[in-house]
Structure 1
């Protein structure tokens, strides 16, 4: 049975003005299980108007009162943890265990934001003249827009909405068209938590028309985006029309650098876990391994043995790696792998779409490529799928050159016991996050940001909260 959802605008559940619909597929089977409104410019205008109506009164609430609403949303997510986990499996394809962790992460993001209600700080500075005082206040932007990618449909909402609301903003959520169901169900929790109408709104849709209408509306003052570099560049161009503030968390191509003195066993485990988590659809995943020649044979042998245990499986039963989320992703991944093999890479295993019981849906086998080179498509481009190419390097300087020559810079992994290389990498590795002898992780009190084409601004921690506030300076004579 196909379930029909609606948009959430001004506290009301509404259809798109044009009465058009988007079908939502289960990536494991390719079957349509739900449909959502395909909104357009009129719906975007309604959402912005509803947010603007709620803006002033929400901003005047004390931050601790705004935080209380976030805690209520977290309570609702806890009560329905299993329900939301199964929704994530159904629409995104991650395993049930990974989906449960995503629900937990969403609660952590929003709880952390709520706890920051008493840590919103201004500044009191001395004036240059007697009988005067200088203040700098942090104030909300007003109407904000949260545009979410498909790899973490719920966590990205919590990551954006929590700090936006506690800072005094209102927000319009725009989920990816492939994964809108979790967002719609999330707004049901928002409704049950009793938030004032218009503080949180959700519109669903495809195409540039909806996104452009939301971004270019003069009432939209801040835009937070998680998505591809191409999408971020397009949004930045549109946002320039009204000089709206931007936080862009965009794509990356993280190298996993293994030097000759690394803990090989630990590095192998970290490389496999990071690459195949969520079917490789994590922006800070290791996209390629750069391993020093003197330990390359040992590392490769152990990695192949460990990675061979990673199989496709029913994500609802935690039986193995699930599907990638969209058919377009399968097409792109397959094209990258074929291009690299044509360039001379050796296929160790995988390299095929799903077959047999995995013939339907959006499946791609866990894949390892040997004898890859930095110029090959699977190394040079972001794969965003379960494919790991291995490149042999001469040493640290070559790895640094390969990493820094890329136009993006979201994350990188470095495995070595040499503390001088640690410190050199901190200064010279051009990326927003560095994992030193550490596997993939993300803490709510860290800061998730990219350098170069991987974005502007960032999310999480005190710096992420800061991104949802602008400064107001007051010169006072008394």
Structure 2
């Protein structure tokens, strides 16, 4: 019998009002049920928001270092369960053991980071224009935060929304994606064990179309942080801003790596393959376009194909690349592979599902490389959330920059070059919120801002680092003439 996991609302683990549940299965073995979660509805979401609103004033007046102590203990609680949570993440989402372990560690580190940042929360002292006046600012929490998170980083993304929200004195309700909610639930378990007061943090599982929508549009919610698809994100932004809420959205990407004429081809192939095929390509920052100078194009294609060929596919606890998270995600990748071939791109490797006993009915797709891709092909314009790489040939650096920017997205971009002038130009001219030199498009430091340009983001507020605290605080200016 599988475990039935409850919602956490107002300090208690409770069943949903629907008394219904949904199953979460292992994408490597879809017949294996990992756990059952509450199939909640708008009533459950409303109760959670009301609990958060009732708890907000007292939490806001709790001294920030005391809030930090709870975050620090929650980090320690997560660390004590790292192996268990790594296995759970692999079983629900499909990441390899190494990838899942790295993500769990990222969540632990985020909680430790914001625990320490609570000591710096306060304000700034300024010089007044007149004698006898003390002029300063005070940072205050925004209020109640609605958090809606995706399945592809099911513990890291909740962590980098929850930790700064709590550090700044906000309360929250989170609705995690139904494909892999278990590790987000574990964050609330860790916080509960650390002594988080009732109502300050709440988690409600169930469909985002109902639960997520209900928390985002609730009158008592003051801030909304959403990570997910562009289509849904734009709707969330419009509905929340119409109500005057503070909103940040982080959406899709079509991330390029530019490989210049003088680049080391082997290094470039290593960088691109890691960005394209890591986490099964299921990252908003994954490299899906390699923009390569024509003089080294053929050599690069041969090298990156060799990297793809060396990847061993299978269950995440044993192999280099795991399955996609669901049948629908697998079908989406296979559909784009068909589209690319119909458009005239050349399939260099992959393009299908692997054969063999170890794959069973799992949602596996082969690492796939296309060459002969034109900039207007759908495979070069639309986000493919899978291990599919489009290689585009260009004649010079200017064409490479134009190709990199020829997208409605602008999340992450990288360049492989041995020319520092090219690197500097790339950083200045590429339209991306994250730009990297001689590095893969994926992978983020937790103490610097993260966010995109164009349709990759609302371009309002960044996440992580000090920017994460900025979103969850509002500044009051004080003129003290006492």
Q: TM-score range by the shorter chain?
A: over 0.9
Matches of 1:190 and 1:123, distance apart in 2: 30
1:282 offset after TM fit, Å? 1.3
Matches of 2:126 and 2:273, distance apart in 1: 51
Corresponding residue number in structure 2 for 1:19: 19
Corresponding residue number in structure 1 for 2:66: 65
Corresponding residue number in structure 2 for 1:378: 379
SS class of match (2:222): strand
Corresponding residue number in structure 1 for 2:328: 328
Matches of 1:155 and 1:443, distance apart in 2: 12
CA RMSD after TM alignment:
1.5
Q: Is the 8 A contact 1:89 1:315 kept in 2?
A: yes
Range with greater deviation from structure 2 (155-164 or 206-215) = 206-215
Corresponding residue number in structure 1 for 2:456: 454
Range with greater deviation from structure 2 (240-249 or 79-88) = 240-249
Does residue 210 of structure 1 match 2:214? Answer: no
Range with greater deviation from structure 2 (65-74 or 22-31) = 22-31
Matches of 2:9 and 2:354, distance apart in 1: 40
Q: Is the 8 A contact 1:337 1:377 kept in 2?
A: no
1:454 offset after TM fit, Å? 0.9
Corresponding residue number in structure 2 for 1:158: 159
Q: Is the 8 A contact 2:375 2:406 kept in 1?
A: no
Q: 1:90-101 counterparts in 2 under 5 A?
A: 90-101=91-102
Corresponding residue number in structure 2 for 1:119: 120
Q: 1:463-478 counterparts in 2 under 5 A?
A: 463-478=467-482
1:33 offset after TM fit, Å? 2.8
Q: Any stretches of 5+ residues in structure 2 without a counterpart? A: none
CA deviation profile, 1:351-371 (whole Å, cap 9, x unmatched):
113443324132111111121
Matches of 1:349 and 1:438, distance apart in 2: 23
Q: Would you identify which runs of 4 or more consecutive aligned residues in structure 1 move more than 6 Å?
A: none
Q: Is the 8 A contact 1:354 1:360 kept in 2?
A: no
CA deviation profile, 1:313-338 (whole Å, cap 9, x unmatched):
12122x23101112211111111110
Q: Is the 8 A contact 2:94 2:315 kept in 1?
A: no
Q: Is the 8 A contact 1:311 1:365 kept in 2?
A: no
Corresponding residue number in structure 2 for 1:302: 303
Q: 1:347-386 counterparts in 2 under 5 A?
A: 347-357=347-357, 358-386=359-387
CA deviation profile, 1:186-216 (whole Å, cap 9, x unmatched):
3222221121111111001115222221011
1:396 offset after TM fit, Å? 1.6
Corresponding residue number in structure 1 for 2:109: 108
Aligned counterpart for 2:447 among listed residues 430, 445, 448: 445
Q: Is the 8 A contact 2:324 2:386 kept in 1?
A: yes
SS class of match (1:290): strand
Corresponding residue number in structure 2 for 1:420: 421
Q: Is the 8 A contact 1:411 1:434 kept in 2?
A: yes
Matches of 2:213 and 2:315, distance apart in 1: 38
1:281 offset after TM fit, Å? 0.8
SS class of match (1:13): strand
CA deviation profile, 1:58-112 (whole Å, cap 9, x unmatched):
1111111101101111111111111000000010000111111111111111111
Matches of 1:306 and 1:209, distance apart in 2: 42
Matches of 1:469 and 1:275, distance apart in 2: 36
1:378 offset after TM fit, Å? 1.8
1:25 offset after TM fit, Å? 1.6
SS class of match (1:315): coil
Matches of 1:250 and 1:462, distance apart in 2: 21
Range with greater deviation from structure 2 (270-279 or 348-357) = 348-357
Q: Is the 8 A contact 1:127 1:133 kept in 2?
A: yes
Matches of 1:5 and 1:254, distance apart in 2: 36
SS class of match (1:324): coil
Matches of 1:283 and 1:421, distance apart in 2: 25
1:130 offset after TM fit, Å? 4.5
Matches of 2:390 and 2:306, distance apart in 1: 15
CA deviation profile, 1:99-143 (whole Å, cap 9, x unmatched):
111111111111111111122241223344454333222111111
Matches of 1:403 and 1:383, distance apart in 2: 16
Corresponding residue number in structure 2 for 1:407: 408
Q: Is the 8 A contact 1:212 1:238 kept in 2?
A: no
Does residue 185 of structure 1 match 2:186? Answer: yes
Q: Is the 8 A contact 1:15 1:37 kept in 2?
A: yes
Matches of 2:396 and 2:68, distance apart in 1: 50
Q: Any stretches of 5+ residues in structure 1 without a counterpart? A: none
CA deviation profile, 1:357-403 (whole Å, cap 9, x unmatched):
32413211111112122122221111111111211111221121122
Range with greater deviation from structure 2 (41-50 or 308-317) = 308-317
Q: Is the 8 A contact 1:291 1:392 kept in 2?
A: yes
